Amino acid sequence: MIQIIPAIDLIDGKCVRLTQGDYAQKKEYNTNPLAVAQSFEEAGLTRLHLVDLDGARQKRIVNHRVLERIATHTRLHIDFGGGVQSDEDIALAFSAGAHQVTGGSVAVRNRSLFERWLERYGSEKIILGADARAEKIAVGGWQEATETSVFDFVADYAQKGIRYVISTDVAKDGLLQGPSFELYRQLQNCSPSVHLIASGGVSSVADILGLNEMGIFGVIVGKAIYEGRISLAELEKLNR
């Protein structure tokens, strides 16, 4: 069964969701991210996707204390991203309790640094963030577009040993209109060796099952949980 990975996005230490990466379209859901993470764990989920949106905007980790609290008070396998731009940032994330760290913008802007992390920490610890708008890589909290093909980007890093890739179709994120099945199908065809994690647009259990049928490794579920479209009880059943 596909790995179900609930998401917590952080601004000012609170659980929020953006729509299509737009900070002006922010909705706050909970002021206690630890309690949210614990509710995921109580439902039998084992993973957590934790995103520091303040960090993504400021280009440095900001919410590491929240990461530390969740890592200390749960047994969740946490992948952490947002603002990881330097050796100091990635060391801080791991010391605060992250099991894996996602690099997106840094993998575009400073390839040598990202490749060094992959060599130093290993392919089980480093996730490539490959977020796309119209099949082109988007960076800087999705605020900046590039001319880099997402398919070429992932394939290139797959050759360098990357095993885990999180890909969000920015146009789908936060809209609850279903994930970008075709994007993930093409990514799988181009880079069959990677463990692909789909993110953005998931609105129902049917979406999760559809991705599972495609053989996708993992799916990140965020807004659908917070808006009550998918219950933790439903996720618990799927996760058995």
Q: Which residues are catalytic?
A: 9, 131
Q: Which residues contact 129 (CB under 8 A, 6 or more apart)?
A: 81, 102, 103, 104, 105, 107, 165, 166, 167
Give the CA count within 13 Å in the CB-facing half-sphere of 196. Answer: 27
Closest CA to 132 of 182, 92, 192: 182
Q: Kindly report the CA angle at 15 between 9 and 16, in degrees rounded to 5? A: 70
Residue 62 Cα distances to 17, 40, 49, 65, 165, angstroms: 17, 23, 16, 8, 23
The full length of the chain comes to: 240
Query: Using CB atoms within 10 A of its CB, is residue 166 exposed (0-12), middle (13-18) or buried (19+)?
Result: buried
**Angle (CA) 100 105 108, round 5°:** 110
